Structure 1
Amino acid sequence: MDAWLRLVPGWVWLLSLVVIGGGQQLRVSWAQADAAGARGELADYRLEVSERDRRADAQARTEEQRRQKAVDEVGNEAEGKLEVARADAARSGDALQRLQRRFDEAERRSRTCGNSVTAQLSQAAEGEARMRADLLGRVGEAARLYAAEADERGVAGRACERAYESIRNVDP
C-alpha cells in the first residue's frame, strides 16, 4: 500500500488538501452565518415575547382597574341606598314616637273629662289603652328594627350581586 501512495504526485496531494481545507472553511463560514441568523431570530423572538408580555400586563392592569371601578360604583350606590334606608328607619321611629304621644294625649284628655260616667269608663279603658299603647310601641319598635335590618341586608345583597355581575361580565 505504501507503494501506491508514492505513485500519486505531490502536487495532487497538495491540491486535495487545498480543496478539502477550502471546503471545510466554506462549511465553517456557512455555519457561522447560520448561527448569526439564528442569534438574530432569537433576539427578534425575545423582543416579540417581551412586547407580548408587556401588552398582556397592560391588558391585565386595565381589566383590574375596570373591575375595581365597577365594584366601587356598586359600593357607592349601595352606600347611598343604605343611607336612604337608615333615614327611612329613623323617620318611622319618629312616626312611632308621634303616635305614642298622641295615645298619651288621648289618655290624658280622657282622664280630665268631668262627668262620673266618663271617669268610670275612662278608668276601665285606661288599663286597656295603656296595654295597647305599650304593645303598639313595642311592636312598632321591633318593626322599625327589623325593617332597618332587612333594608340594609337587601341593599348589601343586591350590591354584592351587581358587583359580581360587573366583574363576571367581561367584554372580550
Structure 2
Amino acid sequence: MSTTAPVRPMTPAPTRRDPVAVAARWLAAHGVQLLQISLGTVFLAFGVLKFFPGASPAEPLVMRTIDTLTLGLVSGQTAVVMTAVIETFIGLTLVTGKFLRTGLVVLAGALAGMMSPLVLFFGDMFPGGTPTLEAQYVFKDIVFAAIVLVLGAKALGARTESRL
C-alpha cells in the first residue's frame, strides 16, 4: 500500500484573462446598479418634464387616466403635477440610492396606474387591433415592472450568485 498522494497533471497557467469571464464578473458586480441608475434617469427626465405645462407628450394621457382612476376628484394640471412629483421622487431615489425601499414601493404603486390605460382605454389604445403610439408608450412599462422586481429583490437583500 502506497502512502504517496496521486500526482495530478499540471495545467498551464492562462497567459491572458478570458474576456468573457471578465465581462461576466463586471456585469454581475455592476449590472443591477446600472439598471437602477438608468431607470432612475428615465423617471427623473419624464417627471421633470411634466412640471412644465405642455412639455410632456404624455400629458393628455396622464390627465385622462388620473381623472378616470380618481373618479374625477383629481384632474387636469393637478393630475400632471401630482404625477410629476411622484415620478421625480422615484427617479431621485433610484439615482441616488437614498430612500430606495420607499421609492420602490412608490414605483410599484405608480406602475399600476401607469399601465392602467391598457385596461381603461383598451379600445382607444388598440383601434382595429393595432397599438397606437400611446399604447406602445404604456406597454413598455412591462419592462419597468420587471426591473422593479430585480431592484426590489436586491433592496430586500437578495444576493447574486456568481457561477464563474
Answer with 1 or 2: which has the greater Rg: 1
Alignment TM-score > 0.5, same fold? no
- Smaller-chain TM-score bracket: 0.3 to 0.5
Structure ranking higher on relative contact order (CA contacts 8 Å, 6+ apart): 1
TM-score (norm. length: structure 2): 0.33
**Greater helix proportion:** 1
